[in-house]
Structure 1
């Protein structure tokens, strides 16, 4: 009897709601042995032809910070293009902390756009990802911070997120404020008993329109069972709004069925000697990483937002750029940052700073990302030997990657769960082959920046 195999062609196409989340999926599938490429613009036939072995194609987006009107104009054609690739699974990749609200990054709006693009009778949702410290039980989402698990509406970061604070951990209720589509649940007790398919059948029987069906994930068993349910019940094709938990779940099930080889670690990152890092993140995790980077020998350079967003923008850019170049000349890695955690005075005064510059909060946030992108591009132009950069913050990552003329990303090596070292593909020779790490606010340990710089030589990377 022939060994079981996965069907030929693309297995999954996805749109990432921000750049850091997009590389999270890229890492998860690549590490599982599913060749994946992430594009920064909707790929045409020529772009796809450069990656003939790809079984998964992603498109990095910025919808997490956008309103529903933007999503109708920009997300709809992107999902339509991805649906046209013919993969049986079309994913809108969401953050594993479910960052969203009715007015900003509405996952419900994305679901309402995406479900009609696929013929499936249901829309699975897998958010839990144990490898990232994310767990879902009876529809409620939990996340680990500093070694302690929190219900998301009590999480020290997500409960006070500056844009999309989480006030409800039950994702059915949270999602209900964003879409009128029916919502159902296959819980972990049903999965553990092997009754996932029967539970799903009941969900479909109770709904006259394709429902969103949340699937609990608590551990490796329920992770694989979630993957089994999605894959075996995909029918002619389904749309799913899920975190990278979906990739981990599918890989777990495929591996259990002998459809993928045993898991193997990603290649170890080699040391870079010196890097440049920028941070637009205000999460407590990134603040600790900045603190540790200072102890690890980085040259910390704070960007004065009041000057950068006001009439002193050019002078501030020149000041920071000169200081960063001087650090690199000394053989030191610069880390340019806008804030050190949610209690940083720059964060507390951000609305006032924006108003003083005649900007809305959203405009000021975008301008900040553009400033970081300008700085990175100028650094690479002034120091051509610089070949590795790190960017912290989802919005910042998008601005930086777009400004560098990068066409696509593939995984080069592992560094921290959800934040791999990527290889940039570009038509610009100076950018092609650039190594880049895009890190979400919650990702990585305290020594993250040193790991990016030192690779496998860093003690914690062993």
Structure 2
């Protein structure tokens, strides 16, 4: 047994792969706000790329596995994990959404864990999903999320239970993972964390099963409040051994930094600065969540130009260019007139375009996931052309698929956090070899993030 830590080690503390872009910036915000310098790369970082960021203690790699098949993950995740492991951080984090939405066929977290353990090894694989700052709570293995102050079990959540790609039909994450991996899944619950029995429970979890003596278990750790968050961080860090792989939400980042601060190894920072105001913004939204819909309605009522993408036309090759040009003309005219603009593909989960999405995809000869990526690419192209014609200081992207497409098409190489805006969606600075993109301010927002006036915050900052 190793001696207790008396300080943080030198070098990188954490390396992570984000299963989508919005989640990747969420983790970056959590670490940066705690005083851990963090950089998010869009491709595996080279030594030369890392030299641009002296003093970095956490490195992220923004990915797109949340909407991909296990076959895609098996082809793409091992080299990504290997590149991150080579950086030498003691923890390799597969960053998942705090709603844990996934399935055996799309975004399989179980598949990612199997691939990560092949790279990193370790005696156990901790999973921390609860993140009270984001209003996500895990209690006795069940995941809850709050909407407008009301907590919902994930299988009864008004949005996640009806997610168009990966609906959550099970809130018990042990059962949910059992459909994605045959690996043994254990739990350290909130009572054990609060009573000081967490280490004893982990020791019991690590006892080999009679039929699988070499099995490395997945161990879920409850997080309900600040006390359990601290104890989850203590358990992971103190029992990391030579290294661990963890499929977790940004709850892992919040837990670790909370523990490091409690130990006095990190100063308690003043927090991120507030975002300042800009004259106007452009936004694209590929999210169909009710939260995003309310934000679009608010923007429209406040004088933003809101332009809808014709999804059926976007999916048809012979109609796609005309549709993108139509949007560019209308959105460009609004920007030229001094207005801010939001281009969107859906306004809530009951939007007719959402309800007809499968039919639109079938007519175009595309699977649902292929069609979703096609819509994201269309929104990204609109944003690129708008920026080519109207060099804005700040842009917003809502939705994980859309965020990845936009960041890629703009030639962005890395992101760092500039300022706080709303939990889980910070204001970021783009780093790029293209002078016209370097320094661009981006906000990459998940569908569930932010209040109704989010676009007002994006425009006016803390005002």
In the alignment, what sits opposite 1:260? 266
Q: In structure 2, how many angstroms separate the alpha carbons of the residues matched to 1:362 and 1:89?
A: 31
Query: 2:373 maps to which residue?
Result: 366
Q: Secondary structure of 2:220's partner?
A: strand
Q: 1:231 maps to what in 2?
A: 237
Corresponding position: 1:431 with 2:433: no
Aligned to 1:348: 355
What is the match of residue 150 of structure 1?
Answer: 152
TM-score, normalised via structure 1 length = 0.97
Deviation at 1:60, TM superposition (A): 0.2
Aligned residues: 454
Q: SS where residue 312 of structure 2 aligns?
A: helix
User: Partners of 1:129 and 1:400 in 2: how far apart?
Assistant: 27
2:382 to 363, 375, 382: 375
Q: CA RMSD in A?
A: 1.1
CA distance, structure 1, for counterparts of residue 99 and residue 355 of structure 2: 23
Question: What residue is the counterpart of 1:307 in the other structure?
Answer: 313
Structure 2 Cα separation of the partners of residues 359 and 214 of structure 1:
36
Q: Which residue of 2 aligns with 1:399?
A: 405
Q: Distance in 2 between matches of 1:259 and 1:248?
A: 15
Q: Which residue of 2 aligns with 1:60?
A: 62
Cα deviation for residue 319 of structure 1 reads 1.1
Cα deviation code 1:257-316 (max 9, x no counterpart) = 101111422111110110000000001110011111112221111111122222322221
Instruction: Name 1:79's counterpart in structure 2.
Output: 81
1:87-124 Cα offsets, whole Å, 9 max, x none, are 00000001000011000000000000011322420000
1:442 matched to 2:442? The reply is no
Correspondence for 2:251 among 245, 254, 267: 245
Question: Any residues of structure 2 matched to 1:159-170 within 5 Å, and which?
Answer: 159-170=161-172
Query: Residue 145 of structure 2 aligns to a residue in which SS?
Result: strand
Report the Cα distance in structure 2 between the residues aligned to 1:308 and 1:19, rounded to whole angstroms. Answer: 22
CA distance in 1, matches of 2:382, 2:216: 46
Matches within 5 A, 1:7-406: 7-207=9-209, 208=213, 209-310=215-316, 311-384=318-391, 386-406=392-412
Whole-Å Cα distance in 2 between the matches of residues 247 and 360 of structure 1? Answer: 35
Normalising by structure 2, report the TM-score. 0.97
- Deviation digits for residues 348-386 of structure 1, max 9, x if unmatched? 1111112222322222111111111110110011112x1
Distance in 2 separating the partners of 1:162 and 1:372: 19
| 1:5 Cα deviation after fit | 2.8
**CA offsets, 1:44-68, max 9 Å, x none?**
1111111121100000000000000
Counterpart contact for 2:315–2:371, Cα < 8 Å: yes
SS of match in other structure, 2:396: strand
In the alignment, is the contact (CA less than 8 A) between 1:119 and 1:236 conserved in 2? no
1:460 corresponds to: none
Distance 1:272 1:41 in 2: 29
Q: CA deviation at 1:4?
A: 4.6
What is the alpha-carbon distance in structure 2 between the residues aligned to residue 239 and residue 5 of structure 1? 21
Q: Is the 8 A contact 1:126 1:245 kept in 2?
A: yes
Could you tell me whether the CA contact under 8 Å between 1:96 and 1:127 is conserved in 2? yes
Q: Give the equivalent residue in structure 1 for 2:462.
A: 456
List gaps (5 residues or longer) in structure 1: 458-462
C-alpha contact 2:138 2:224 (8 A) present in aligned 1: yes
**Does the Cα contact within 8 Å between 2:287 and 2:447 map onto a contact in 1?**
yes
Q: Is the 8 A contact 2:128 2:252 kept in 1?
A: yes
Does 258-267 or 211-220 show the bigger shift?
Answer: 258-267
Q: Distance in 1 between matches of 2:139 and 2:248?
A: 16
Cα distance in 1 for residues equivalent to 2:96 and 2:242: 23
Q: Is the 8 A contact 1:309 1:368 kept in 2?
A: yes
Query: 3-state DSSP class of the match of 1:116?
Result: helix
Runs of 4+ in 1 over 3 A off after TM superposition: none
Unaligned runs of 5+ in 2: none
Of stretches 258-267 and 139-148 in structure 1, the one that deviates more from structure 2 is: 258-267
| Deviation of 1:196 (Å) | 1.1
